[in-house]
């Protein structure tokens, strides 16, 4: 099935051909990815996981974080929640989920306060705050725009601690 020469113990023989354990394990991994991220193409979800793994490996080797938090937070929003992202540099929001325009803000492991700032002038119905911890675990919470604190400044502040766990889903 894989077209590669195989030795004893490197796979199983069935239906007239050899199937390698690597191929079988790859299929099982893709099935796990489909279960974890049912909203998107498994190849995009695999790419996301590889990016996170590479960022974690880089940190382990150098003690420095790669400064890719915003992009990786938006990619997580895409693979985890199925947000359809806008073209790069689109003003007002980062993507759509159903009929809602979504703005994504990311809290990196480097941020002590756990607060994000969002432009009040943005064109979004919901804010999705993604938090990434020191172990590169991701969590997202939604808040409707109308629930943001009122004010006259150009930005609204949202603290992770004020977002209830009931806001984890759209």
CA gap 50, 28 in Å, rounded:
17
Positive or negative, the Cα torsion across 144, 147, 149, 152?
positive
Q: Please answer whether residues 155 and 129 qualify as being in contact, where contact means their C-beta atoms are separated by less than 8 angstroms.
A: no
The string of pLDDT tens digits covering residues 38-79 is: 889 999 999 999 999 999 999 999 999 999 999 999 999 999
Domain ranges across the chain: 18-163
119 forms beta bridges with: 155
The string of pLDDT tens digits covering residues 96-109 is: 999 999 999 999 99
């Amino acid at each position: 099935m894989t077209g590669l020469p195989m030795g004893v113990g490197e796979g199983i023989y069935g239906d007239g051909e050899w199937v390698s354990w690597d191929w079988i394990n790859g299929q099982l991994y893709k099935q796990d990815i489909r279960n974890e991220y049912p909203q998107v193409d498994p190849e995009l979800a695999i790419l996301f996981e590889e990016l996170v793994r590479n960022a974690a490996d880089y940190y382990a080797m150098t003690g420095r974080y790669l400064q890719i938090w915003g992009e990786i937070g938006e990619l997580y929003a895409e693979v985890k929640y199925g947000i359809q992202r806008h073209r790069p540099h689109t003003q007002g929001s980062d993507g759509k989920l159903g009929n809602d325009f979504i703005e994504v803000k990311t809290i990196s492991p480097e941020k002590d306060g756990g607060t994000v700032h969002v432009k009040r002038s943005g064109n979004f119905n919901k804010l999705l705050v993604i938090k990434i911890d020191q172990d590169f675990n991701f969590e997202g919470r939604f808040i409707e725009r109308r629930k943001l604190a009122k004010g006259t400044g150009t930005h609204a502040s949202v603290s992770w601690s004020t977002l209830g766990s009931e806001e984890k889903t759209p």
